[in-house]
Amino acid sequence: MRDILVAAAVALLLSMIGTPVAMRVFARRGYGQNIREEGPSGHYDKRGTPTMGGTVIVIAALLGYAASHAATLTAPTISGGLVLFLMTGLAAVGFLDDFIKIYKQRSLGLRSGAKAFGQLIVGAVFAVLVVRFPNAYDITPATTRLSFLRDFGPSISLIPFIIWVLIMIVGFSNAVNLTDGLDGLASGATGVVLASYVLIGNWQLRNSCVNQLGPNCYWVRDPLDLAVVAAAVLGALVGFLWWNAPPAKIFMGDTGSLALGGVIAGLAVTTRTQLLLVILAGMCVIITLSVIIQVGFFKMTRRRVFRMAPLQHHFELAGWAETTIVVRFWLIAGLCAAAGLGLFYVEWMPKS
């Protein structure tokens, strides 16, 4: 437990202090947000707000993780390292996207194909390595089986597994990116998912098959370190949210949104809860579905289901205040996370 507390506390402190420093540096260099012309008119006032704040989240999380291991004199694990690699790699893709937007003074950074290529390269490295590195009990960070509350069914073999993991990584990194449309929305929505994985990792540690075999024990390679990773990123995110809450003084940009999507996808793979993530991150899934529905329906009928997609902009154009949308969406995100945790723990409930 001390590992988790140190990681969260150090990352929180570094992010809380580092974010205003980054704000001043980015503002001085002119690293401000460009606003889409076709976006809600209320967003024009946000033009020039410092962006790329995701760099602070990533750096604070990495240092928080390192501080945790230094304080407890323990070595980092392969599972934790792979999830952090995924986060950092996707952050680099997002940073490049943000930098191009700023350098060329436009709302479009990397072209969609180039961004997807970067996500796929980073994701493929993660997917290939995550089924290697068995420990002394022959447990690897992940297996080539699908998972919900734990692994189930037969192995789907390596290539289909890699494709499946790539779908998860690209899907959830883009889902968080779409959620990052209002001040503090993505931070809050992903924060509850990360908090869920702190609890899940800690529970899996207490009920590990390595410690005691039982009907419901977990074959997870490094559950404690995965909880430490989740806690470090959560702490960094909370510190950033202090400055990102409405009205935001800084935006995370694609640097942060892609990194956060990668972290939750990586945690889902390594904790063997791949399909459960759809429920835990239900708010991000709903927002992504709104875009899919809008685009698909428009292509078929030349009509729109929503005033604007993603979903949060529909409610903006319906006259809802931005803070009202953010808080209500946070509540929905919390309910989704609570539902996911309830499903995770339900198999431990006494059977009458």
Between 34 and 231, the higher pLDDT residue: 231
Per-residue pLDDT tens digits for 213-244: 888 899 999 999 999 999 999 999 999 999 99
Give the three-class secondary structure for 130.
coil
At 212, list the tokens: 């005691």
Region 105-132 average pLDDT: 90
Per-residue pLDDT tens digits for 73-86: 999 999 999 999 99
d(CA 352, CA 349): 9
Q: What is the pLDDT of residue 48?
A: 66
Per-residue pLDDT tens digits for 168-210: 999 999 999 999 989 999 999 999 999 999 999 999 999 999 9
254 carries a ligand binding annotation = yes
Are 277 and 149 in contact by the 8 Å Cβ rule? The answer is no
Q: What is the pLDDT of residue 26?
A: 84
Sign of CA pseudo-dihedral 73, 78, 79, 82: positive
**Nearest 5°: phi and psi at 147?**
-145, 150
Q: What is the pLDDT of residue 50?
A: 87
Give the three-class secondary structure for 4.
helix
Is pLDDT at 42 greater than 70 in this prediction? no
At 311, list the tokens: 């979903």
d(CA 72, CA 333): 33
Q: Largest Cα–Cα distance in the chain?
A: 64
Exposure letters 23-41 (e unless 16+ CB within 10 A, then b): beebeeeebbbbbeeeebe
Instruction: State the angle between helix axes of 253-270 and 54-72 in degrees (0 to 180), rounded to the nearest 10.
Output: 40
Region 67-75 average pLDDT: 96
Region 148-170 average pLDDT: 96
Predicted confidence band of residue 351 (pLDDT cuts 50, 70, 90): low
Q: What is the pLDDT of residue 168?
A: 98
What is the DSSP-derived secondary structure letter of residue 10?
H
Got the DSSP string for 42-67? GGGGGTT-B--THHHHHHHHHHHHHH
Q: What is the pLDDT of residue 118?
A: 96
List all residues 6 or more positions away from 196 whose beta carbon is below 8 Å from its beta carbon: 280, 337, 340, 341
Are 121 and 150 in contact by the 8 Å Cβ rule? The answer is no
Is pLDDT at 148 greater than 80 in this prediction? yes
CB atoms inside a 10 Å sphere around CB 199: 15
Predicted confidence band of residue 107 (pLDDT cuts 50, 70, 90): low
Between 104 and 24, the higher pLDDT residue: 24
119-to-95, 97, 176, 191 alpha-carbon distances in Å: 12, 12, 14, 22
Q: What is the pLDDT of residue 199?
A: 97
Give the residue from 258, 268, 259 showing the smallest Cα distance to 233: 259
CB atoms inside a 10 Å sphere around CB 293: 15
- Tokens 């903006």 locate to 316
Give the residue from 211, 261, 206, 266 showing the smallest Cα distance to 77: 266
